[in-house]
Amino acid sequence: MPRKTSIMTAIPYVNSTPHIGNVLTTLSGDITARYLRMRGDDVHFQAGTDENGLKIKEAAEKSGEDVYRFTEQITKRFIDIFHVLKISYDDFVRTTEPRHKRAAQALFKKLQDNGHIFVGTYEGWYDVSTETFFKEEELVDGKSPDGNEVRWVSEQNYFFRLSAFEKPLLEAYESGRLKVIPETRQNEVLSFIKQGLRDICVSRSNPGWGIEVPGDDSQVIYVWFDALINYLTTTGWPEDGWQEMWPPAAMWLGKDILTRFHATLWPAMLMGIGLEVPPAVIGHAWILMGQEKISKSRGNMVEPVPLAQELAERAGVSMEVAVDALRWWEAATMGYENDSTFTQEDFDKRYNADLANDLGNALNRSLSMAQKFVGGVVPDAAIEPDAVQAILDAKVACESAMSGFRIDHYASAAIGLVRYLNKAIDTWAPWSLAKNADPRLGSVVRSMLMVLRAAEGLVRPIMPDAADAVASQLGVTPLTDWNLIGAEQALPAGTNVGSPKPIFPRLENKVETEKPDAKTAPPQKVKGAARIDAVHAEQIDFTDFMKVNLRVARIIEAERIEGSEKLMKLQVRIGTEPRQIVAGIAKKYAPTDLIGRQIVVVANLKPAKLMGHESQGMLLAADDVDGAPILLQPDVESPDGASVH
């Protein structure tokens, strides 16, 4: 019988449209849930929205809308965006739902009955933007630690005896019963607790929006206290049946709501009603733009759906594939100890390096050679031992990463198998085996296809549609059973594989030109015209041309040469022969754009030294209208070392 597993994610406020930073939490939960489903678990994955709180009421009033209609509209935006991003939640919790109101009031009442709630007078500073209370000594230049305006509050409220749970919380962390990931954040939590916990205000005077305190409708439950209870709401608590979904295997959230709320207040609340604490609380880092966190309140928004739509248009791919590329970027660059930074340039480079160059190259090469050398049929041959080991190593690395909820490490291990395949193809050289009628050819081609099939399974939790596309081109059904990754029955001998179709076409730098109005625009000299017009060069004999040995080469490594703006040092492979070529392409191309590319080179040029670096050949490039290089490459994948004529 499948193991019941629940995955919980922090629910975002509905005071504005979500951005790529605050969908990271829910996406992380989705990747975890998809992985565990592949492992055979019966997963209950929760998502939702937080719709109570003064901030939301004030945002609605500012927009001139009824607060309930306001929350309805923005919640629908979240649901629509989650749908586009393929968030596979099993339950979507809204804190305005009757079931959540019942759960929140039941938990509040149980804490009262257990002596953990008392009435007192609150006087202090309140940050409406984050719905958080702060002590005087916590303010920075008269503002909250987040830089938000605060207002003085003085009223009679209900308090939670958080101070009573200082020792139990420390014992839970020290025993390992409660763990924060990454460890550096757990150290921050422990430091926070050891400084001394104070009882906290858990209600506010009723502003006409929120969940009333049971037995006292003059007060509403403090929004953070109320929102945390959603994790129990989704299990059906306090009704029967909730026990099989509690505690969750993991709780995903951003680092800004970790220490004070999810790692201190929430486990204390659970202890106060006698429930187990979650074993793993993961606080991921922020996504920055420049030096600032992407934030609705700061207005530096990068919305996920428009970003994917723009990528789909620029790359010429479907929206589903573009969304997978966005999911991949968020997973691969996900910060734990340190924040990650979004720039369009880095986003494009990651797309080209991991997806177009590595995955796309591996798929294209493997299927092209399968079609050419074995008639497009998976050979009935043994898999190369090093391929078997590479698949196993990648699979174990992915399992290890997810056991610690390190999605970034998981992505690295998955794409690492793809990179292994590209290098292995160079080493195996199936074109040479075919040329020499080597009987090992069948084993090599099957190994290539098996590694590709395993990679399809590994990337599936992050890129489900792209994985489906790989499976389709391999001529098999999607690999959704983790145990079948690396198993021969995942890609049986005799399977007819398809021809390669690019899933992730490269993003190229496009030179945009404006067409002047012919009636009014003066004649303009076209940049590069001299180069383009200079075709009447001295004629040579065919025998002279035949002296030039043109070959297809593959770029294995690339790095800029220090002290030069133009020069790039490339390590290439011409067939099985490694070469170093120095080329003046650094202004046009980044190193990550080049790795894995096939190019055309002059293979018999005498070596020369450029800035102290030996160049053992020359690559071919055209000039664009500004004289910048455009690398020449085969129209379709060619055997490395193939002759060009």
- pLDDT, one tens digit per residue, over 78-111 is 999 999 999 999 999 999 999 999 999 999 999 9
- pLDDT, one tens digit per residue, over 430-483 is 999 999 999 999 999 999 999 999 999 999 999 999 999 999 999 999 999 999
Q: How far apart are CA 434 and CA 371, in angstroms?
A: 12
Residue 165: pLDDT over 60: yes
pLDDT at 80: 95
Share of the chain above pLDDT 70, in %: 93
- Band of residue 593 on the pLDDT scale cut at 50, 70, 90: low
| Residue ranges per structural domain of the chain | 4-293, 341-490, 529-644
Contacts with 375 (C-beta within 8 Å, 6 or more apart), sequence order: none
Q: Which CATH class is domain 341-490?
A: mainly alpha
Locus of tokens 């009987």? 439
pLDDT at 513: 34
Architecture of the domain spanning 529-644: Beta Barrel (2.40)
Read off the pLDDT of each residue in 8-13 and give the average, rounded to a whole number: 94
Residue of 178, 198, 192, 123 whose CA lies nearest to 156: 123
pLDDT at 404: 97
Q: Are the C-beta atoms of residues 190 and 263 closer than 8 Å to each other?
A: no
> SS3 of 582, please?
strand
Q: How far apart are CA 320 and CA 182, in angstroms?
A: 31
pLDDT at 7: 98
pLDDT at 155: 84
Contacts with 436 (C-beta within 8 Å, 6 or more apart), sequence order: none
- pLDDT, one tens digit per residue, over 556-577 is 778 888 888 889 898 888 987 8
pLDDT at 611: 86
Residue 511: pLDDT over 80: no
Q: Which CATH class is domain 4-293?
A: alpha beta
Helices (H), 97-145: 98-113
Q: How far apart are CA 509 and CA 526, in angstroms?
A: 19
Q: What is the pTM of this model?
A: 0.79
Q: How far apart are CA 213 and CA 158, in angstroms?
A: 9
Q: How far apart are CA 605 and CA 592, in angstroms?
A: 26
- Band of residue 349 on the pLDDT scale cut at 50, 70, 90: very high
- Band of residue 201 on the pLDDT scale cut at 50, 70, 90: very high
Averaged pLDDT score across all residues of the chain: 90
pLDDT at 438: 96
Read off the pLDDT of each residue in 380-402 and give the average, rounded to a whole number: 98
Q: Is the pLDDT higher at 550 or at 528? A: 550
Q: Do domains 4-293 and 341-490 have the same CATH topology?
A: no
Q: Are the C-beta atoms of residues 11 and 49 closer than 8 Å to each other?
A: yes
DSSP letter string over 295-339? -TTTT----HHHHHHHHHHHHT--HHHHHHHHHHHHHHT--SSS-
Residue 537: pLDDT over 70: no
- pLDDT, one tens digit per residue, over 276-318 is 999 999 999 999 987 676 665 566 789 999 999 999 999 999 9
- pLDDT, one tens digit per residue, over 614-624 is 999 999 998 87
